[in-house]
Amino acid sequence: MISTALDTIPTPPSSRLLGWHVLDARPKEGWIRIGFDGKRDFCNPAGFVQGGILSAMLDDTMGPAVFTMTDGKLYTATITMTVNFLAPAKPGPITGEARVTHLGKTVAFVEGRLTAADGTLLATATTSARLVETAKAIAPSASLQPAVLPA
């Protein structure tokens, strides 16, 4: 697997909750593929992964595409995100793919998509994201460190 700037930062708790893991990346092209766990705990009463969870997966795919493309120098803060839900997402593995369509000086535009293990296209998204220097956006924080419980 290719090494990316994502290897240098701890995985945020929200990403761990989603089962986030890098599957493949082409940083110079602004493209990334992320794996997620569509847990039963994420399902709505109809038994499908809830749309807000799918939106979080898309957001957690599109931001890292920019981060890896800029070799970890720029972090994204979502300005807008439009999601199109195309098929119900059953519990199980879900794959996210994202591609940076334009990297400006202060804003990036990214397209993303989620697919089920059988190849069904579940959702697509576009986002505009403010670019922030990573050093200013990701400060060492206790919230990103593993919890240490008293004995």
Q: What's 84-120 look like in SS3?
A: EECCCCCCEEEEEEEEEEEECCCEEEEEEEEEECCCC
pLDDT of residue 123: 98
- What is the C-alpha separation between 113 and 122, in angstroms, rounded? 8
pLDDT tens digits, the chain, 151 residues: what are they?
688 989 888 899 999 999 999 999 999 999 999 999 999 999 999 999 999 999 999 999 999 999 999 999 999 999 999 999 999 999 999 999 999 999 999 999 999 999 999 999 999 999 999 999 998 887 655 444 444 434 4
Distance in angstroms (rounded) separating the CA atoms of residues 27 and 70 = 8
Instruction: Please state, as a whole number, how many other Cβ atoms lie within 10 Å of the Cβ of residue 29.
Output: 12
Distance CA 82, CA 92 (A): 24
- Cβ partners under 8 Å of residue 17, min gap 6: none
What predicted TM-score, i.e. pTM, was given to this entire model?
Answer: 0.89
Residue 139 is predicted with a pLDDT of 63
Count Cβ atoms below 10 Å from residue 146 Cβ, excluding itself.
7
Nearest to 67 by CA among 25, 113, 114: 25
pLDDT of residue 9: 86
Q: How many CB atoms lie within 10 A of CB 76?
A: 25
What was the pLDDT predicted at 150? 43
Looking at residue 137, its pLDDT comes to 84
CA pair distance 86, 71, nearest whole angstrom: 32
